[in-house]
Structures are given as C-alpha cells and as structure tokens.
Amino acid sequence: MKEVNAKNAKNQFGQLLESAQRGPVRVTRRGRSAGVLMSEEQYQRLRGIAWDRLAATVEAMQKQSADNGMTDEVLAELLVDDR
C-alpha cells in the first residue's frame, strides 16, 4: 500500500486522489497511521462486504435462537418491565 505523510497529502491532494483511484493510500502523521484514502468504488465494495457479514451473523443468531426455543412470545415475556 502506498504511504504518504499528512503534510505531503495536504500539499499534493490532487495527486493523492489520483493515487487512491489505483489503490488505497495510507496517510501517516508523526510516523503513525492516521487514515486511509480509497476510491469510492473500493469504499462501496468494503461497505457491502460489511453489511453482508452483518446480515449473515443476524441470520445465524435468529436460527440459533429458534433452535433453542426462542419465540416472539418468549421474547416478549423476557422484555416485560416488571417494575
């Protein structure tokens, strides 16, 4: 991954944007990673992957809950506020 320090990123932002179209660019500040600049296409792809993983996790949790006898009625009883 290409790497550039924050000062150069600021001074050469146009070139940085062009580089990000080819692949992610790590921006550092004081020698430490401060962020990553990437193309919109790369961002949307990563975002889609994250949502797909979340949906799969929720689906697995729903199946496990159903397999263990969790129904809407049982859930409603558990959530009743008995104060």
> In terms of CATH architecture, what is 2-38?
3-Layer(aba) Sandwich (3.40)
What's the CA angle centered on 22, arms 9 and 15, to 5 degrees? Answer: 30
Query: Helices in the chain by DSSP H: which ranges?
Result: 6-11, 13-22, 40-67, 72-79
pLDDT in tens, 21-55: 999 999 999 999 999 999 999 999 999 998 999 99
DSSP 23: S
Arithmetic mean of pLDDT over the chain: 93
Is 0.75 topped by the overall pTM?
A: no
- pLDDT for the residue 83: 63
